[in-house]
């Protein structure tokens, strides 16, 4: 069964709307979760590292005011795309892992975001 649950799986909305994506760790407590963005036919690009109880760490070039991350509990991280525009349309995917080197990151099923 799924180790990481991500919702919604698909969102289509109008430009200017804010969209919230949830990422839940089902089988373990995840002090750290990761948010990625993937354009068609490209690799995953790390956007930010979500840390439980503290501020997220954003990668260079990622607007923290545009992509709000909240990690309020050990099993839930949320990504909010604020005032989304067509260029924000993409595939967003989260992951979580236990803090041991040989444990893989478990990924959610991703969210396809389409902004009209």
Partner 1 sequence: AQKITQTQPGMFVQEKEAVTLDCTYDTSDPSYGLFWYKQPSSGEMIFLIYQGSYDQQNATEGRYSLNFQKARKSANLVISASQLGDSAMYFCAMRELPSSGAGSYQLTFGKGTKLSVIP
Binding residues (CB under 8 A) for partner 1: these are 31-32, 34, 42-44, 46, 49, 51, 91, 93, 95, 97, 99, 101-102, 104-110, 112
For the chain, the residue count is 116
Toward partner 1, which CB reaches closer, 67 or 107? 107
Decide whether 10 or 16 has the Cβ nearer to partner 1: 10
What residues pair up with 58 in beta bridges, in sequence order? 48
Min CB(71)–partner 1 separation in Å? 12
Q: Is 67 exposed, middle or buried (0-12, 13-18, 19+ CB in 10 A)?
A: buried
Report, in Å, the least distance between residue 74 CB and partner 1. 14
Strands (E), the chain: 4-7, 10-13, 19-25, 32-38, 44-51, 57-58, 67-73, 76-81, 90-96, 106-107, 111-115
Minimum CB–partner distance for residue 85 and partner 1 (Å): 22
Looking at beta carbons only, is 14 or 104 nearer to partner 1?
A: 104
């Amino acid at each position: 069964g799924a180790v990481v649950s991500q919702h919604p799986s698909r969102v289509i909305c109008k430009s200017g709307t804010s969209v919230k994506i949830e990422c839940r760790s089902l089988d373990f407590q995840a002090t750290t979760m990761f948010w990625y963005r993937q354009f068609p036919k490209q690799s995953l690009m790390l956007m930010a590292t979500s840390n439980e109880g503290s501020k997220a760490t954003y990668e260079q070039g990622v607007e923290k005011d545009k992509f709000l991350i909240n990690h309020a509990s050990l099993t839930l991280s949320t990504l909010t795309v604020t005032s989304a525009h067509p260029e924000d349309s993409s595939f967003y995917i989260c992951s979580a892992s236990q803090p041991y080197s040989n444990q893989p990151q478990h990924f959610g099923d991703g969210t396809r975001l389409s902004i009209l």
